[in-house]
Amino acid sequence: MTDTRDNTTDHDFSTRAIHAGQEFDPTTGAVVPPIYLSSTFVQDGIGGFRGGYEYARGGNPTRDSLQTLLASLEGGTHAFSFASGLAAEDALLRAILKPGDHVLMGNDVYGGTHRLVNRMHVPWGVELSTAEMSNPDAARAAIRPGKTRVLWLETPSNPLMKITDIAALVAIGHEAGAIVVVDNTFASPYLQQPLSFGADVVVHSTTKYLGGHSDVLGGAVVTSDEEIAEKVGFLQFGAGAVSSPMEAWLTVRGIKTLAVRMDRHSENAQAIAEAVQPHPAVETVFYPGLESHPGHEIAAKQMRSFGGMLSVALRGGPAAAKKFAEGTSVFQLAESLGGVESLISYPSEMTHASVKGTELAVPENVVRLSVGIEGIDDLLADVTGALDRLA
The minimum distance between CB 153 and ligand PLP, in angstroms, equals 11
Q: Which one of the listed residues 149, 162, 208, 261 is annotated catalytic?
A: 208
Q: Which of 16, 36, 63, 110 is catalytic?
A: 110
Helix H or strand E encompassing 260: helix 258-276
Min. distance of Cβ 161 from ligand PLP in angstroms? 12
Residue whose CB is less far from ligand PLP, 109 or 229: 109
The closest of 18, 338, 76 to 193, measured between CA atoms, is 76
Q: Please give the residue ranges that form the binding site for ligand PLP (CB under 6 A).
A: 84-86, 110, 112-113, 154, 158, 183, 185-186, 205, 207-208, 217, 219
- Do strands 332-333 and 343-345 pair parallel, antiparallel, or not at all (unpaired)? parallel
Residue number closest to ligand PLP, CB atom = 85
Tell me whether residue 212 or residue 219 sits nearer to ligand PLP (CB atom): 219
Catalytic residue among 5, 57, 115, 147: 57
When the beta carbons of 101 and 154 are compared against ligand PLP, the nearer one is: 154
Told to judge if 208 belongs to the known catalytic residues of this protein, a careful annotator would answer: yes
**Which residue lies nearer to ligand PLP by CB, 33 or 245?**
245
Q: 27 and 84 in contact (C-beta within 8 Å)?
A: no
Q: What is the 3-state secondary structure (H, E, C) of 20-51?
A: CCCCCCCCCCCCCCCCCCCCECCECCCCCECC
382 included as an active-site residue: no
Query: Smaller CB distance to ligand PLP: residue 16 or 63?
Result: 63
* CB neighbour burial string for 319-350, b if at least 16 within 10 angstroms, e if fewer: ebbbbbbebbebbeeeeebbbeebbbbbbbeb
State in angstroms the smallest separation of the CB of 204 from ligand PLP: 8
Please list, in sequence order, all residues whose beta carbon lies within 8 angstroms of the beta carbon of residue 336, skipping any fewer than 6 positions away.
207, 208, 214, 343, 370
Instruction: In angstroms, give the least distance from the CB of 202 to ligand PLP.
Output: 11
Determine whether 57 is an active site residue: yes
261 catalytic per annotation: no
Classify residue 5 by burial, with Cβ atoms within 10 Å: 0-12, 13-18, 19+.
middle
Active site residue ranges: 57, 110, 183, 208
